[in-house]
Amino acid sequence: MVELNVGLPNGTVCHLTSESMRPLAKYLRWEIFKRGRYARAGFELRPSDTVVDIGGNIGVFVLWAAPQVPLGWIVSVEPNPVSLGCLQLNIERNGLGNVTAMQAAAGSDGGTMELICHPGWEMIAHDAKVSAPWFYKHGGPARLVRWIIAGLTNRHTTAESAQRIVTPLMSLEHIMDDHGIEVVNYLKLDCEGSEFEVLRNISGACWSRIERAAIEYHEFGRDRRVAELVTILEGNGFEVEVHQSLVEKLGRPFGASIGEIWAWKPATATRH
């Protein structure tokens, strides 16, 4: 019997709640551990750092980060209950006592978000209000392409219909205050277009409590352009670099313009 897990280079193990998650876990292992998605000069995790992980997904980022902050703390936020269950399983099975997981969608304060999820494609769950690219859609062409990719990658999944899930909506400041976090040393954002709502709704006082941020941006729709995020960050005292890898550029034919933002306060970044 094949075990539902994927080993990781740092000795942790990504446990899965379904076989359909295996290709996702392997991709995230490559992206985070081999490609070094969150490893960058000046953004090294320190033993006592506090990390807020917006878009925890199935927990591969947490498995990468937690061993690096043995004296620190990670709060991982994930709205999709399927992904959250896998994240919580990984925290438990790997004995990560310095990680707290919670179900919420980060953005504005109060209310709820309607989340669109595709079974077997946990990485592309998104806010129903976001104008997601065609590859994310419920329509026939998108489902057919996902089904073909599933077959080519030996995924144990089908072109199932999208599910709509209502999840609590909470601002970053609210998340920090609820967990007694005074300063976020490392903010990670990967939330399929909702990073715009997160940054648009951070108050002036809260910005002073954030040291560094690693953000994956998604230009979904006309009202989501990376220039806006850069303006918000620079207006709140951050220095900013924007980067788009070859792999991310290949997403354009699928209607997804995705890239990375690195933001840091000059006084706290170790490389300046």
Residue 269 belongs to some domain of the structure = no
| Residue where the block lists tokens 């090294």 | 44
Residue 56 belongs to some domain of the structure = yes
Residue 208 belongs to some domain of the structure = yes
Residue 55 belongs to some domain of the structure = yes
In the chain, the amino acid numbered 34 is K
C-alpha to C-alpha distance for 59 and 12, rounded to whole angstroms = 11
Residue 271 belongs to some domain of the structure = no
> Are 217 and 256 in contact, with CB atoms under 8 Å apart?
no
> Are 78 and 56 in contact, with CB atoms under 8 Å apart?
yes
pLDDT, one tens digit per residue, over 61-120 is: 999 999 999 999 999 999 999 999 999 999 999 999 999 999 999 988 888 988 888 777
Q: Return the DSSP state at 66.
A: G
In the chain, the amino acid numbered 248 is E
What per-residue string of b and e applies to 173-209 under the rule 16 or more CB within 10 Å gives b?
bbbbeeeebeebbbbbbbbbbbbbbbbebbeeebbeb
In the chain, the amino acid numbered 2 is V
> Are 261 and 229 in contact, with CB atoms under 8 Å apart?
yes
Give residue 251's pLDDT band: very low, low, confident or very high (50, 70, 90). low
pLDDT, one tens digit per residue, over 30-52 is: 999 999 999 999 999 999 999 99
> Are 57 and 29 in contact, with CB atoms under 8 Å apart?
no
CATH number at residue 192: 3.40.50.150
Give the mean model confidence (pLDDT) for residues 137-158.
Answer: 52
Q: Which domain, by its residues, includes 163?
A: 5-264
Q: What percent of the chain has pLDDT over 70?
A: 81
The pTM assigned to this predicted structure is: 0.87
pLDDT of residue 254: 58
In the chain, the amino acid numbered 101 is A
C-alpha to C-alpha distance for 257 and 203, rounded to whole angstroms = 27
Residue 272 belongs to some domain of the structure = no
